[in-house]
Structure 1
Amino acid sequence: MRRWIMHVDMDAFFASVEQFDNPDLMGLPVIVGGQSDRGVVSTCSYEARVYGVHSAMPMMEARRLCPQAVFLPGRMKRYQEVSREIMTIFDSFSPLVEQLSVDEAFLDISGMELLAGSERDIGFKVKRSIKEKTGLTASVGIAPNKFLAKLASDMQKPDGLVVIRAEEAEVMLKPMSVRRIFGIGRSAEKSLLQFGIETIGQIADADLGILRKALGNNAALVKQLAHGLDDRPVVNDYAAKSIGKECTFEQDLHTEDERRHAVLDLCGRVGWRLRRSGVVGYTVTLKVKFASFKIITRSITAEGPVAYDEEIFALAQKLMQSVKWSEGVRLLGVSVAHLEPANAVPVLNFSEDERLGKRNQAVDILKAKFGEDIIKRGF
Structure 2
Amino acid sequence: MTVTHRKIIHIDMDAFYASVEQLDFPELRNKPVAVGGSEERGVISAASYEARKFGVRSAMSGKLAIKKCPELIFVKPRFDRYKEISGQIRKIFLEYTDLVEPLSLDEAFLDVTHNKKNLKSATLIAEEIRQKIVEVTGLTASAGISINKFLAKIASDYNKPNGQKTINPDEIIPFLDSLEIKRFFGVGKKTCEKMYHLGIFTGADLRMKSVEFLEEHFGNSGLHFYQLARGISNSPVVSNRLPKSIGAERTFRKNFTSIIPLKEKLNDVCEEVSIRLQKRNLSGKTITLKMKYSDFSLQTKSLTLPYYISSYDLLLDTALELLQQTRLRTSVRLIGIQVSNLNINEKKAEYIQLRFRF
Structure 2-normalised TM-score?
A: 0.70
Aligned-CA RMSD value: 3.9
What secondary structure does 1:142 align onto? strand
Query: Which segments of 5 or more consecutive residues in structure 2 lack a partner in the other structure?
Result: 249-254, 277-285, 297-311, 320-335, 345-358
Q: Which amino acid aligns with 1:83?
A: S
Structure 1 residue 36, shift from structure 2 partner: 5.4
Distance 1:314 1:166 in 2: 46
Pair 1:130–1:64, CA change in 2 (3 A): same
State the shift of 1:28 in Å: 0.8
Task: Establish whether residue 102 from structure 1 lines up as the match of residue 105 from structure 2.
Answer: yes
- Which letter maps to 1:99? P
Which position in structure 2 is the counterpart of 1:177? 180
Q: Does 1:207 align with 2:210?
A: yes
Distance in 2 between residues matched to 1:196 and 1:265, nearest whole Å: 46
Distance 1:334 1:16 in 2: 30
Paired residue for 2:95?
Answer: 92
Look up the match of 1:358.
none
8 Å contact from structure 1 (residues 113, 122) kept in 2: no
1:61-80 equivalences in 2 (<5 Å): 61-80=64-83
After superposition, the C-alpha distances for 1:309-363 in whole angstroms (9 at most, x for unaligned) are 98x9479999xxxxxxxxxx996874579x9x9xxxxxxxxxxxxxxxxxxxxxx
Compared CA separation, residues 18 and 259, structure 1 to 2 (3 A): farther
Q: 1:53 aligns with which of 42, 52, 56?
A: 56
Match of 2:241 among 215, 238, 244: 238
Within 5 Å, which residues of 2 pair with 1:268-279? Answer: none
2:50 corresponds to which letter in structure 1?
Answer: E
1:167 matched to 2:170: yes
Distance 2:90 2:46 in 1: 20
- 2:81 is aligned with what amino acid? R
Amino acid in the other structure paired with 2:198: F
Deviation per CA, 1:91-145: give whole Å up to 9, x if none. 1111100011011100000033972352111011100111111000001111100
For 2:257 and 2:133, locate their aligned partners in 1 and report how far apart those are by CA, in whole Å.
42
Provide the C-alpha distance between the structure 1 equivalents of 2:22 and 2:10, rounded to a whole number of angstroms: 24
Q: CA deviation at 1:289?
A: 5.0
Counterparts of residues 1-379 of structure 1 (less than 5 Å) = 2-35=5-38, 37-112=40-115, 115-238=118-241, 241=243, 243-244=245-246, 257-258=258-259, 287=269, 313=290, 334=337
Distance in 2 separating the partners of 1:189 and 1:264: 37
Structure number with greater Rg is 2
The residue type equivalent to 2:87 in the other structure is: R
The amino acid across from 1:143 in the alignment is S
Between the aligned partners of 1:31 and 1:144, the Cα distance in structure 2 is 35
Q: How much does 1:201 deviate?
A: 1.1
CA shift at 1:22, angstroms? 1.3
Residue 373 of structure 1 is matched in structure 2 by none
Amino acid across the alignment from 2:246: G
Report the number of matched residues.
290
Q: Deviations over 1:56-97 (max 9, x none)?
A: 000000111111122101111111111111111111111100
* Aligned sequence identity (%): 38
| Contact 2:37–2:74 (Cα < 8 Å) also in 1 | no
Structure with a larger share of its residues in helix: 1
Secondary structure of the structure 1 residue equivalent to 2:233: coil
Q: How far has the Cα of 1:260 moved from its partner?
A: 9.5
Gaps of 5+ in 1: 247-253, 267-285, 298-307, 319-328, 342-379
Cα distance, 1:8 vs structure 2: 0.5
Is contact 1:31-1:69 (8 Å) kept?
A: yes
Q: Is the 8 A contact 1:263 1:316 kept in 2?
A: no
> Following the alignment from structure 1 to structure 2, what is the Cα–Cα distance between the partners of residues 128 and 259?
53
Structure-2 change in CA distance of 1:245 and 1:53 (3 Å): closer
Superimposed CA distance per residue, residues 232-256 of structure 1 (whole angstroms, 9 cap, x where no aligned partner):
00001225x564379xxxxxxx966
CA spacing shift, 1:109–1:52, aligned 2, 3 Å:
same
The 2-side partners of 1:259 and 1:106 are apart by: 44
Output the CA distance in 1 between the equivalents of 2:105 and 2:293.
18
Larger relative contact order (Cα-Cα within 8 Å, sequence gap ≥ 6): 1
Q: What secondary structure is seen at the aligned counterpart in 2 of 1:42? A: strand
8 Å Cα contact 2:149-2:233 kept in structure 1: yes
> Would the alpha carbon gap of residues 134 and 263 (structure 1) be closer, same or farther in structure 2, given more than 3 Å must change?
farther
Shift of the alpha carbon at 1:296?
10
CA deviation map 1:164-204 (0-9, x unaligned): 11221111110211112222223222222233221111111
Distance 2:260 2:27 in 1: 39
**Partners of 2:129 and 2:173 in 1: CA distance:** 27
Contact 1:263–1:313 (CA under 8 A) maintained in structure 2: no
Task: Please tell me whether the aligned partners of residues 41 and 56 of structure 1 are also in contact (alpha carbons under 8 angstroms).
Answer: yes
- CA gap of 1:309–1:245, structure 2 versus 1, over 3 A, is closer
Cα distance in 1 for partners of 2:147, 2:85 equals: 28
